[in-house]
C-alpha cells in the first residue's frame, strides 16, 4: 500500500492498493475510490470488542475495502486540520484520542485504553478513554487544527489541556491532574483537570480540538425563551 495526503484545510489520504490489499475505517470516511474496491461491513470482533469500541467513542462496525484489482481509495477528514500517518509495528503500540482514528490497514488492531483510575478518569473528561493501536500496518489519524510533535526524554513531562492530546507512543505515561487552587479553578477558565504526559516517547498535540470549537460557538448562539 502506498499513500499520499492531499488537500487543505480538509485533507484526505489517497491510498493506492494492489489487488487483494485491504483498508478499514469506522467513520464512513471514504470520500472517493475506484470501482474495483469492494466494501464489506463487519462487526470487527465479538461482543467484548464491539462494546469496547462503543465505550471508546467509535462505531461498533467497520467498513473493510478490498481491492479487486489495482486502484485507489481516499479517506477524508471531517474537520479542518491534518492527517497523521503512523506505522504500527509488532511489539509496539500507539495510544490515540478516542475520535482520532480515520483509517488503517487491516493488520492494525484497535482496542479501548483506560488512561486513569475509573473515578478520576470520568472527571478528567476526554483523556480517560482512549484507543490503543497495535499489530502491524499503517494507520491514519485525524488531527484537529495544526499538529505539534515533541520528543520527551525519560522522566521529562509536559502539562497539556486534555483535549489537545492527539496521541503518544507506548512508552509515555499519562496522568490526569486536578488544577490546584480554588481561584484558579473558578476564574482561570482552564477547567478542572489537565493531562500530564511523561516520557520517554513521542507525543502529538493538536491545536484546535473540536470540543473547544463547539464550546466557543455555543457561547455565541442566541438563547431562546
Check whether 186 has a pLDDT greater than 50: no
Count of structural domains, the chain: 1
Q: What percent of the chain has pLDDT over 90?
A: 58
If 0-12 CB within 10 Å is exposed, 13-18 middle and 19+ buried, where does residue 120 land? middle
Residue 148 is part of which domain span?
2-219
Structural domain includes residue 38: yes
Q: What is the pLDDT of residues 90-115, one digit of tens each?
A: 999 999 998 899 999 999 999 888 76
Question: What are 126's three cell numbers?
Answer: 476526554
Region 12-22 average pLDDT: 98
Q: In whole angstroms, what is the distance from residue 38 CA to residue 198 CA? A: 43
pLDDT at 44: 57
Ordered strands of the 193-198 beta sheet: 157-160, 193-198, 173-178
C-alpha of 161 from chain center: 16
Structural domain includes residue 172: yes
Check whether 122 has a pLDDT greater than 60: no
Q: In whole angstroms, what is the distance from residue 94 CA to residue 202 CA? A: 10
If 0-12 CB within 10 Å is exposed, 13-18 middle and 19+ buried, where does residue 65 land? buried
Q: Which domain CATH number covers 71? A: 3.60.160.10
Q: How confident is the model at residue 126 (pLDDT cuts 50, 70, 90)?
A: very low
Structural domain includes residue 225: no
Amino acid at each position: 500500500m502506498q499513500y499520499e495526503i492531499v488537500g487543505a484545510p480538509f485533507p484526505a489520504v489517497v491510498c493506492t492498493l494492489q489487488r487483494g490489499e485491504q483498508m478499514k475505517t469506522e467513520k464512513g470516511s471514504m470520500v472517493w475510490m475506484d470501482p474495483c474496491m469492494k466494501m464489506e461491513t463487519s462487526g470487527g470482533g465479538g461482543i467484548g470488542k464491539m462494546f469496547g469500541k462503543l465505550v471508546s467513542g467509535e462505531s461498533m462496525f467497520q467498513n473493510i475495502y478490498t481491492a479487486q484489482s489495482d486502484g485507489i481509495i481516499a479517506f477524508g477528514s471531517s474537520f479542518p486540520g491534518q492527517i497523521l500517518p503512523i506505522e504500527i509495528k509488532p511489539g509496539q503500540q500507539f495510544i490515540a484520542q478516542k475520535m482520532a482514528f480515520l483509517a488503517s490497514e487491516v493488520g492494525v488492531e484497535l482496542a479501548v485504553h483506560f488512561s486513569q483510575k475509573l473515578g478520576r478518569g470520568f472527571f478528567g473528561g476526554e483523556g480517560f478513554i482512549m484507543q490503543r493501536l497495535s499489530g502491524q500496518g499503517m494507520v491514519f489519524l485525524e488531527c484537529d487544527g495544526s499538529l505539534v510533535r515533541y520528543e520527551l526524554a525519560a522522566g521529562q513531562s509536559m502539562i497539556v489541556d486534555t483535549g489537545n492530546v492527539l496521541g503518544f507512543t507506548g512508552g509515555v505515561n499519562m496522568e490526569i491532574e486536578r488544577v490546584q487552587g480554588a481561584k484558579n479553578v473558578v476564574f482561570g477558565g482552564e477547567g478542572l483537570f489537565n493531562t500530564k504526559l511523561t516520557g520517554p516517547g513521542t507525543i502529538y498535540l493538536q491545536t484546535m480540538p473540536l470540543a473547544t470549537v463547539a464550546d466557543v460557538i455555543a457561547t455565541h448562539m442566541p438563547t431562546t425563551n
